[in-house]
């Protein structure tokens, strides 16, 4: 009758031992989980710190990017300004070259034909006109007549009245006429410009521009400067030619005597 | 950039035009040679082998368009860039220039910046 009691005792002992093992396993597992949780927590903290660091760096980079963008914008406007100035300087260079070449050409010879050719070349190459006439006085105080022209037919030349209208007004007053941009009130013989050729305040002749080349819509500032230059330099060059011709004639006569 | 100076042949019967072109190109550091008409231009182009020819259209003896055709037919100048200078900017005149074999054109009065831009473009600068 002792056997069942032992069996129960064994069973209880076994259960207790199993329970103890299970409890130990749980405790061990719990330890592991605690250690793991600690590791994860530490990693989380580190990652949060890294994220914070990266966020700070990102902010710093964004600020640097904004500064660079502003600097780029400033540099771009400076580049545009310099580019615009460069164009202005190039234009001024071209304009100065035009004025220099015109002046040089007018005073390069004492022969009237050469000076007149030079005036033609200035009007074609520098002003941009192939439709003009040069008027002159045969005698002092006499009427103006067309002495040279380009692109103006003989018939049209005959119709030009240098002593009347706009041309007459400009030549009488010795004031350069330049047609207004809108060209209002323009008659068929109304010039684009009229430049009196004056020496010492006296008008010796004039240049009448009737039109510009088709691709040139209007006169520009440098053209007005060229007209001013022609008004004095062409006049003095032609005047010198006249004096030179007279001197040559006189010297020839004296040599013949 | 250590390029040798490019040689430009300027062709115009007008002293004024030649002088202004010389001034504009001289400051841009090009070597400049000149001719006064189309015939002289053809001779100089073959003898001197310029890198580019800037040639007026209306000239005595041989016009710029005629000279352009002759230059295009010659082996030595077949590929030389030619820019014609014209007082006529209308379509027909420009088409005639291109038909003769020119590479580009500029109109008178010459705009310095436009000329230099087209020139550099043709010279691949």
Q: What integer pLDDT is reported at residue A3 of this predicted model?
A: 58
Residues of A in contact with B110 (CB under 8 A): 94, 125
Is cis: bond before B109, omega within 30 of 0? Answer: yes
A93, A104, A124: residue with CB nearest B19: A104
Mean confidence (pLDDT) of chain A? 89
In a domain, B1, yes or no: no
pLDDT digits (tens, 9 = 90+) for A135-192: 987 776 777 888 899 998 877 777 777 777 888 889 888 999 998 766 555 566 688 9
In a domain, B115, yes or no: yes
pLDDT digits (tens, 9 = 90+) for B30-51: 999 999 999 999 999 999 999 9
Domain boundaries, chain A: 1-106, 110-256
Mean confidence (pLDDT) of chain B? 91
Q: What integer pLDDT is reported at residue B2 of this predicted model?
A: 45
pLDDT digits (tens, 9 = 90+) for A7-48: 888 999 999 999 999 999 999 999 999 999 999 999 999 999
pTM across the whole model: 0.77
Mean pLDDT on A105-120: 93
- Residues in A whose CB is inside 8 Å of some CB of B read 87, 90-91, 93-94, 97-98, 100-102, 104-105, 108, 118, 121-122, 124-128, 130, 213-216
Q: What integer pLDDT is reported at residue A121 of this predicted model?
A: 94
CA gap A208, A210 in Å, rounded: 6
Q: What integer pLDDT is reported at residue A192 of this predicted model?
A: 92
In a domain, B2, yes or no: no
Q: What are the φ and ψ backbone dihedral angles of B45, each rounded to 5 degrees?
A: -65, -40
* Residue of A94, A218, A226 to mutate, testing the B interface (most B Cβ within 10 Å of its Cβ): A94
pLDDT digits (tens, 9 = 90+) for B74-99: 999 999 999 999 987 677 778 888 99
Structure tokens at A29: 């597992």
Q: For chain B, what is the domain count?
A: 1
Structure tokens at A183: 């060209």
Q: What integer pLDDT is reported at residue A158 of this predicted model?
A: 75
Beta bridge partners of A203: A198
How far is B24 from chain A, CA to nearest CA, in Å?
7
Structure tokens at A45: 């903290």
In a domain, B70, yes or no: yes
CATH 3.40.50.1100 fits A110-256, yes or no: no
Q: Give the structural domain span for B27.
A: 7-123
**In CATH, what number is assigned to the domain containing residue B38?**
3.40.50.2300
Is-contact A213 B108, C-beta < 8 A? Answer: yes
Interface confidence, given as ipTM, is 0.84
């Amino acid at each position: 009758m002792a056997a069942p009691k032992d069996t129960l005792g064994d069973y209880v002992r076994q259960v207790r031992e199993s329970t103890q093992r299970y409890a130990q396993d749980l405790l061990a597992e719990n330890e592991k989980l605690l250690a793991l949780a600690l590791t994860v927590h530490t990693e989380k903290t580190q990652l949060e710190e890294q994220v914070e660091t990266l966020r700070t760096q990102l902010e710093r980079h964004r600020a640097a990017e904004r500064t660079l963008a502003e600097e780029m914008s400033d540099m771009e406007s400076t580049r545009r300004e310099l580019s615009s100035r460069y164009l202005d300087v190039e234009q001024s260079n071209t304009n100065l070259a035009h004025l220099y070449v015109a002046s040089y050409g007018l005073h390069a010879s004492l022969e009237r034909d050469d000076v007149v050719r030079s005036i033609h070349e200035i009007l074609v190459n520098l002003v941009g006109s192939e439709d003009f006439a040069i008027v002159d006085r045969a005698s002092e105080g006499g009427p103006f007549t067309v002495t040279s022209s380009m692109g103006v037919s003989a018939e049209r030349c005959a119709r030009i009245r240098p002593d009347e209208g706009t041309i007459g007004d400009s030549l009488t007053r010795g004031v350069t006429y330049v047609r207004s941009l809108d060209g209002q009130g323009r008659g068929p013989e109304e010039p684009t410009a009229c430049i009196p050729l004056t020496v010492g305040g006296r008008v010796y002749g004039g240049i009448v521009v009737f039109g510009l080349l088709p691709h040139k819509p209007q006169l520009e500032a440098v053209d007005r400067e060229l007209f001013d230059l022609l008004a004095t330099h062409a006049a003095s060059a032609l005047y010198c030619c006249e004096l030179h011709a007279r001197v040559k004639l006189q010297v020839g006569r004296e040599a013949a005597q | 950039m250590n390029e040798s100076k490019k040689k430009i042949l300027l062709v115009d019967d007008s002293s004024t035009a030649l002088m202004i072109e010389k001034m504009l190109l001289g400051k841009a550091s090009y070597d400049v040679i000149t001719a006064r008409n189309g015939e002289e231009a053809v001779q100089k182009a073959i003898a001197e082998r310029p890198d580019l020819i800037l040639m007026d259209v209306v000239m005595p003896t041989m016009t710029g368009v005629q000279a352009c055709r002759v230059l295009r037919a010659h082996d030595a100048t077949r590929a030389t860039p030619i820019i014609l200078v014209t007082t006529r900017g209308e379509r027909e005149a420009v088409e005639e220039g291109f038909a003769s074999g020119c590479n580009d054109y500029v109109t008178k009065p010459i705009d310095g910046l436009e000329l230099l831009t087209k020139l550099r473009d043709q010279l691949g600068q």
